[in-house]
Amino acid sequence: MPSKRVTKTGNEIFAEAMRQINPDVVAAYPITPATEIVQIFSQFVADGIVKTEYVAVESEHSAMSACIGSAATGARTMTGTSSQGLALMWEMLYIAAGLRLPIIMAVVNRALSAPINIHCDHSDTMGARDSGWIQIYSENVQEAYDNLVQAVKIAEHPEVRLPVMATTDGFILSHCLEVAEILDDETVQKFIGEPPKRPTIFDFENPITLGALDLQDYYFEHRRQVAETMKKSIRVIDEVADEYAKLTGRKYSFFESYYLDDAEYAIVLIGSTAGTAKDVVDKLRNEGKKVGLMKIRVFRPFDYLRVRKALENIKIIGVMDRADGLNSFCGPLFSEICTCLYESEKKPALMNFIYGLGGREVREEDIETVFEELFKIEKQGKTVNTKYIGVRE
């Protein structure tokens, strides 16, 4: 496998992956902390390194609108955004998914305003979790690269044809240098291949209608098709991961289990915090405590059957959300974990932890506090539904 080791930030690695993918169209509007992605890529366009038609638009809403138009013609289409930019796309996200357009988006997670904040939490993408987009989260720069390359093959698969967003944590990954292994350009092109043939508005011999009025007669059926396609994408995501593992030796799944098999206490989380949490798990394991970790990589579709099987034998679980449900009883990840375990006969005790909002630093001591709370549950025989970690009460 031709590859090389590089030192790049999360934004740089996203731009590098986009260069290797060499999409037909990129439409984007810059926003912190994702600005560098399209800034670097636009230089590739200006230098003639890629064949891409770069469309500089006046807003993120326009960016996704242009992507929808591009993808509808059959063009391989990409974009990037963050936070308020993703929120401004809201209307168009649902349209992209509903029209079954395989758009790829690099998202840098950043807190939604107000107050204005430019640092990481997951409120932006969690707000879009039910828009029909596949969502893949990254722990580090290596995963960011691998996830974006795989996203193309997943989105364009004939049984999927849904948009995919691959994410990194703002500033924590987007602006921090890490060592990663990247494939050579030819290998990436061979892996993603040419876009499979699909219905487009430029296929004049087989005309289709996009964006038609869809009332009581068919709307329900079309929304159900998106839901069913999400289920089918679980198998495709696995197949793409297997093919990528043969190419790189790096195997990905819907989640990563870390000392989970014999764990009595475990935490479940998403994103870069997993790296810190693994160090804490190592420390507590050395002290003889049976602790473990589940890192969710693919949040949509949510493979609840596999998650349940992996977690149902654990006695007490802490679910860490980097987004707040704002008094909806819990954070978004907790609701998924709680729901998928509801039908388990064993029903582990569960507790929700809200952490890291607006980029609040997450230290090893904070993760240790989470585990201490889990240890208390066994002693006291009761749970506290939601606890905020690292906030001044």
Q: State how far the Cα of 364 lies from the Cα of 138, in Å rounded to an integer.
A: 19
- Per-residue 3-state assignment (H helix, E strand, C coil) for 29-55: CCCCCCHHHHHHHHHHHHCCCCCCEEE
Q: Report whether 319 contacts 350 (CB < 8 A).
A: yes
Q: State how far the Cα of 79 lies from the Cα of 146, in Å rounded to an integer.
A: 17
Q: Report whether 104 contacts 152 (CB < 8 A).
A: yes
Give the confidence band of 378 by pLDDT, cuts at 50, 70, 90: confident
Give the confidence band of 385 by pLDDT, cuts at 50, 70, 90: confident
Residues 215, 76: one domain? yes
Residues 259, 212: one domain? no
Where residue 46 falls (left for φ over 0; alpha for ψ -120 to 50; beta otherwise) is: alpha
Residue 384 pLDDT: 76
Tell me how far CA of residue 98 lies from CA of 120, 144, 231, 252, 292, in angstroms. 29, 26, 15, 27, 38
End of a domain among 248, 270, 304?
A: 248
Give the confidence band of 383 by pLDDT, cuts at 50, 70, 90: confident
The burial of 85, by beta-carbon neighbours within 10 Å (0-12 exposed, 13-18 middle, 19 or more buried), is given as buried
Q: The domain containing residue 312 runs over which residues? A: 255-389
Q: Report whether 162 contacts 233 (CB < 8 A).
A: yes
Give the confidence band of 30 by pLDDT, cuts at 50, 70, 90: very high
Residue 38 pLDDT: 96
Q: State how far the Cα of 325 lies from the Cα of 156, in Å rounded to an integer.
A: 33
Q: How many CA atoms lie within 13 A of 287 on its CB side?
A: 9
The answer on pLDDT for 106 being more than 80 is yes
> One-letter amino acid identity for 246?
K
Residues 82, 204: one domain? yes
Question: What confidence tens digit (pLDDT) does each residue in 43-94 have?
Answer: 999 999 999 999 999 999 999 999 999 999 999 999 999 999 999 999 999 9
What backbone phi and psi angles, to 5 degrees, belong to 210? -120, 140
In three-state secondary structure terms, 386 is strand
Q: Report whether 295 contacts 255 (CB < 8 A).
A: yes
Question: What confidence tens digit (pLDDT) does each residue in 197-252 have?
Answer: 999 999 999 999 998 999 999 999 999 999 999 999 999 999 999 999 999 999 99
- Identify the H or E element spanning 307: helix 304-311
Residues 294, 340: one domain? yes
Residues 242, 259: one domain? no
Residues 217, 273: one domain? no
Give the confidence band of 19 by pLDDT, cuts at 50, 70, 90: very high
Bridge partners for 54 per DSSP:
26
Question: What confidence tens digit (pLDDT) does each residue in 308-326 have?
Answer: 999 999 999 999 999 999 9
Residues 28, 111: one domain? yes
Residues 241, 354: one domain? no
Residues 60, 151: one domain? yes
For position 302, which CATH number holds? 3.40.50.920
Average pLDDT, the chain: 97
Give the confidence band of 1 by pLDDT, cuts at 50, 70, 90: low
End of a domain among 201, 233, 248?
A: 248
Over range 361-367, report the average pLDDT.
Answer: 97
Structural domains in the chain (count) = 2
In three-state secondary structure terms, 59 is coil
End of a domain among 185, 216, 248?
A: 248
Q: What DSSP designation does 150 have?
A: H
Residue 327 pLDDT: 79
For position 97, which CATH number holds? 3.40.50.970
pLDDT > 90: what percent of the chain?
96
Residues 240, 101: one domain? yes
Q: State how far the Cα of 345 lies from the Cα of 197, in Å rounded to an integer.
A: 46
Residue 301 pLDDT: 98
Residues 262, 217: one domain? no
pLDDT > 70: what percent of the chain?
100
Residues 79, 45: one domain? yes
Tokens of 62: 């326009």
The burial of 9, by beta-carbon neighbours within 10 Å (0-12 exposed, 13-18 middle, 19 or more buried), is given as buried
Tokens of 320: 């860490």
Considering only CA atoms, which of 202, 227, 1 is closest in space to residue 97? 227
